Amino acid sequence: MRVLLVEDDPTIGNAVRDHAASQGHAVDWATTIAQADAFSDVVDSDLILLDLQLPDGSGVAFLKRLRGRRNMTPVIVLTARDQISDRIEGLNAGADDYLVKPFDLGELAARIHAVARRYGQRTTPIIQLGDVEVEPAERRLTGPHGAIDLSGREWAVLDCLLRHPGTIVPKSRIEDALYALGSEVQSNTVEVYVSRLRKKLGSSHVVTVRGLGYRMDVA
Amino acid sequence: MRVLLVEDDPTIGNAVRDHAASQGHAVDWATTIAQADAFSDVVDSDLILLDLQLPDGSGVAFLKRLRGRRNMTPVIVLTARDQISDRIEGLNAGADDYLVKPFDLGELAARIHAVARRYGQRTTPIIQLGDVEVEPAERRLTGPHGAIDLSGREWAVLDCLLRHPGTIVPKSRIEDALYALGSEVQSNTVEVYVSRLRKKLGSSHVVTVRGLGYRMDVA
DNA sequence: CTGCAGCCTTCAGGCTGCTGTCAGCTTGGG
DNA sequence: CCCAAGCTGACAGCAGCCTGAAGGCTGCAG
């Protein structure tokens, strides 16, 4: 998943970014409203983490602008305990959830999961891929011989494919889900991870569509 | 599909042309507005890829002229990251989509695909050919014994035939759909691909009309 | 600090499947 | 029967894709 983090505090920012990255998410980090605008213009994020108090203005304005452009990316507002009015304003402006600072990183991860799940409209909490069971919500795989462990990146690729089952997903989109802007990765990383996924899931479900990308076949 | 590419940068142009060609599309490449006008006058493109900054004028003018002539060919605008105003102007002038440079070729392919789908969907989402199911949107075929894979060119031929079901399609038109102006292909390629298609689809649906062309019989 | 383990990225070699071409064959019409 | 048009199997060249292995990085335990 690709996350846009809008936060000016470097401590919180670093912590959030590292933690999300370790979960396999790509994090674009904006420290100002201006940067956030720029990012949201160029990048297709799956989720936005939005601090409301920023040096060059209120996050609410950014949020309203976003929704005005019909951008319905889910937004989680990060707010200090005493800024309740901000919070309400944020929710009215179109936020999906909020989190009170200081927050636990596990808590954040849980919210991210929850929002992603709601947004992805995964009606099925468990997806069957042949003899492998996928629980996206719990981030758990179970094969015929017990649990299967996936690394962060492996999971990110699988997740990206599962968001568009039966549809051709261009390699570039998977890359976008893996890497933030600025990380210059020039290699066949996606191919490598697809290869690893196939080894773990059984090769029959991830189909290569030459020149276009990959397709997840859910039987 | 037949694509008109309007782009003056030879690097981008070459890359786009080659990649689109590998998907079975025929690409006519104009490097100036004047050339683009000439092409759009002579050739019936299915899609136009339009860079806005060209040596002899703005692509927007070309676009407006096109729409003025009631030419509703879908247009994807290629724009530099910082030319946001251009982009808006382009969309207002009648573009269908835009892509920010530098873009990934897979992403471009996906957009082309999407536009084709949007356009083609006016007719039928799923087409039955005897015991074979065609999903043009997903570029997928399903036969009685499971999925059928088609290569780029094979798909292009099938697509061309499916656009005029029950009508005689001259060989020259299929050739036009496969190869751009100037590509000197001197062989019986069309016959070869029809043959390959028949082998995969079952031979009963593509009918040869001697001396005239081929006809797709949709039962 | 050192060694270890897991993860990520890169790279190169190999493999697969796509493509255009041709030659020999079949088909259909006059 | 003859000819033109069309069909199809074979093939070499090539691009895209796969995958094993190697090296770097980080975090952890001793």
pLDDT tens digits, one per residue of B1-56? 888 999 998 888 888 887 888 787 888 889 999 989 988 887 788 889 999 888 89
Q: C-alpha B203: how far from its chain's center?
A: 25
Measure the CA–CA gap between A82 and B157, rounded to whole angstroms: 65
Q: What is the ipTM score, two decimals? A: 0.64
pLDDT tens digits, one per residue of A74-99? 888 888 756 666 667 767 777 877 77
Q: Which one, of A199, A121, A200, A203, lies nearest residue A162 by Cα?
A: A121
Question: Which of B85, B103, B140 best tests the A interface by mutation, with the highest count of A CBs <10 A?
Answer: B140
| 3-state SS assignment for residue B21 | helix
Q: How many other CB atoms are there within 10 angstroms of residue A58's CB atom?
A: 16
Give the helix/strand (H/E) hosting B11: helix B10-22
Average pLDDT across chain B, whole number: 82
- With beta carbons less than 8 A apart as the criterion, state whether A83 and A53 touch: yes
Measure the CA–CA gap between A102 and A81, rounded to whole angstroms: 8
Q: How many other CB atoms are there within 10 angstroms of residue B155's CB atom?
A: 20
Q: Using only C-alpha atoms, what is the Rg of chain A?
A: 18
Per-residue model confidence (pLDDT) at position B20: 84
For strand C, which nucleotides have at least one atom less than 7 Å from a protein CB? 6-12, 17-23, 28-29
Strand order in the sheet with B97-101: B26-30, B2-6, B47-51, B75-80, B97-101
Cβ-nearest to B106 among A42, A166, A172: A172
Residues 6+ apart with CB under 8 A from B19: A211, B105, B108, B109
Q: Which residues does residue B100 pair with via DSSP β-bridges, in sequence order?
A: B79
What chain B holds in terms of domains, given with CATH numbers, is: 2-120 (3.40.50.2300), 127-216 (1.10.10.10)
DSSP state of A134: E
Question: What's the whole-number mean pLDDT along residues B204-211?
Answer: 88
Which residue has 């462990």 as its token pair?
A149
B195 token code pair: 């043959």
Measure the CA–CA gap between A104 and A42, rounded to whole angstroms: 30
The length of chain A, given as a count of residues: 219
pLDDT tens digits, one per residue of B98-147? 777 767 677 777 777 777 666 655 445 778 888 888 887 778 888 888 88
Question: Which of B99, B104, B133, B135 best tests the A interface by mutation, with the highest count of A CBs <10 A?
Answer: B104
| 3-state SS assignment for residue B200 | helix
Any atom of strand C under 7 A from CB of A149?
yes
Question: Which nucleotide is the nearest neighbour of B21, by CA and C1'?
Answer: C19
